[in-house]
Amino acid sequence: MSELLFIEGGRVIDPAGGVDGVRTVVVRDGTIAEVAERVERPRDVRALDARGRWVTPGFVDLHVHLREPGQEYKETVATGARAAVAGGFTTIVAMPNTRPVNDNASVTELVLARAAAAGLARVLPVGCISRGQAGEELAEYGELKGAGCVALSDDGKPVASSSLMRRALEYAKAFGLPLAVHEEDPGLVGKGVMNEGPAATRLGLKGSPPQAEEVMVLRDIALAELTGGRVHFQHVSAAGSVRAIREAKRRGVRVTAEATPHHLTLTDEDLAASGYDTDYKMAPPLRSAEDVRAVREGLADGTIDCIATDHAPHSKVEKDLEFDAALNGIVGLETAFPVCLALARTGVLSERRLVEAMTASPARAFGLAAGTLARGAPADLAVLDPAAEWVVDPGRLHSKSGNTPWKGRRLTGRCTHALVGGRLVFGEGKADR
Ligand SMILES: [Zn+2]
């Protein structure tokens, strides 16, 4: 006897399948059996009433820090996966800058085992580009891929050496793995803790220019061209980077890019207005209004493929410090949808493009079998209430950490249910905490 679930009455938005309209989604034995306008539901078959809601493929986040192994006081694989499904994310890609770093099969296997035990979002590990993330020798890409890594990254740090980057691209190409890169030229960043500009001058904080990112983006476009390798630009923040990526894509260079909800919506002036709030400190930093405009345009026209959160949990001890000393990064999984939905509300991008940038586009960038409601695909999906208003209370997030600049803010839009492989992993009928 097969197990059936009907999700009825919702507005199904599945950009990969070209669907946008009220449909019934039929889930059978963990996979999508049908998405149709009219389907007769047999008596005694379970139904989820999605009227007034959106039904989308589960979101895919290419950039998440889960902190396990090594810094479980900030986040574990299980708590991160719980925050993910609470935010509508059913697939998350875990960065390797744990302690120890994920540069070998045993760390990859541990992350996968913890994710399987949690049984929430799918967690896909990323291996290091360089051994120990030291930027000196290449890690073993065959071993990492064999263990289950879907990409390579030294995220948190740039790959400073151009020759190492070249060899990494050549080596990764043999395994079909993309390189996800954190682009900040260490020399240009120097001791900068925020964006260089009038806001930094007023605050008396050291700044680093957007060109610190742009020069490395330009270098890696050149190296992608040289090697034929795949480069994915993480957390793009600068207008010059968007321009360079747009031009490279036009020429057919194999590059993809992501932008974070914060780089799409906040500026260095917001940081200034916050009064040295370290929940506005991240790397790359919040930039000028002009940069934000360029990143938004890039997302709307597809230069920037997708939205990724760069979910970076830190404890209070690491954030309640003076600005110079506080660690970089914010949590993002539970606020990404409402923060980005506001962009659609103000006409920056269409609702369809918003959903695409959180589902089909990230899946395509990393070649993942996710982000679609096609018949036969795993039933990974999110039910979202686009009208739900809520106030962000850091103490009530599912993440272990509450470092968010949206604390105390009223947001509109919330995930009400998430299914992974047809299983309800978040929502009514499920213990929330
Ligand atoms: Zn980064």
Distance CA 189, CA 202 (A): 19
CA of 399 to the centre of ligand 1 (A): 19
CA of 292 to the centre of ligand 1 (A): 18
Distance CA 301, CA 41 (A): 40
CA of 257 to the centre of ligand 1 (A): 12
CA of 235 to the centre of ligand 1 (A): 7
How many of the other CB atoms lie within 10 Å of CB of 396?
12
Q: What is the pLDDT of residue 238?
A: 98
Query: What DSSP designation does 118 have?
Result: H
Q: For residue 28, what are the contacts with CB-CB under 8 A and spacing of at least 6? A: 2, 3, 4, 422
Supply 30's token pair. 């963990």
CA of 348 to the centre of ligand 1 (A): 25
3-state secondary structure of 59: strand
Mean pLDDT of 209-224: 98
Q: Is a pLDDT exceeding 70 seen at residue 432?
A: no
Q: Which contacts (CB < 8 Å, 24+ apart) does range 33-36 have?
A: 33/4, 33/375, 34/375, 35/373, 35/375
Q: Is a pLDDT exceeding 60 seen at residue 431?
A: no
Mean pLDDT of 14-43: 97
How many of the other CB atoms lie within 10 Å of CB of 102?
28
Mean pLDDT of 147-156: 98
CA of 286 to the centre of ligand 1 (A): 13
Mean pLDDT of 134-139: 98
Supply 360's token pair. 């089909």
CA of 251 to the centre of ligand 1 (A): 26
Mean pLDDT of 345-358: 97
CA of 155 to the centre of ligand 1 (A): 5
Q: Is a pLDDT exceeding 80 seen at residue 301?
A: yes
Q: How confident is the model at residue 2 (pLDDT cuts 50, 70, 90)?
A: confident
Q: Is a pLDDT exceeding 60 seen at residue 227?
A: yes
Residue type, 261: P
Mean pLDDT of 302-329: 97
Q: Is a pLDDT exceeding 90 seen at residue 430?
A: no
| pLDDT tens track for 364-388 | 999 999 999 999 999 999 999 999 9
Mean pLDDT of 132-144: 98
Distance CA 80, CA 64 (A): 8
Q: How confident is the model at residue 428 (pLDDT cuts 50, 70, 90)?
A: confident
Any idea which residues carry the catalytic annotation?
310
Supply 138's token pair. 């290449």
CA of 395 to the centre of ligand 1 (A): 25
pTM: 0.97
Is residue 378 reached through a cis peptide bond, with omega within 30 degrees of 0 on the bond before it?
Answer: no
Supply 312's token pair. 């970076």
Distance CA 274, CA 211 (A): 25
Mean pLDDT of 353-366: 98
- Kindly state the percentage of the chain with pLDDT values over 90: 98
Mean pLDDT of 403-430: 94
Mean pLDDT, rounded, of the chain = 97
Q: What is the pLDDT of residue 1?
A: 59
Mean pLDDT of 221-244: 98
Q: How confident is the model at residue 205 (pLDDT cuts 50, 70, 90)?
A: very high
3-state secondary structure of 208: strand
Query: What DSSP designation does 261 have?
Result: H
CA of 53 to the centre of ligand 1 (A): 33
CA of 328 to the centre of ligand 1 (A): 9
Q: For residue 217, what are the contacts with CB-CB under 8 A and spacing of at least 6? A: 183, 233, 236, 240, 241, 244, 245
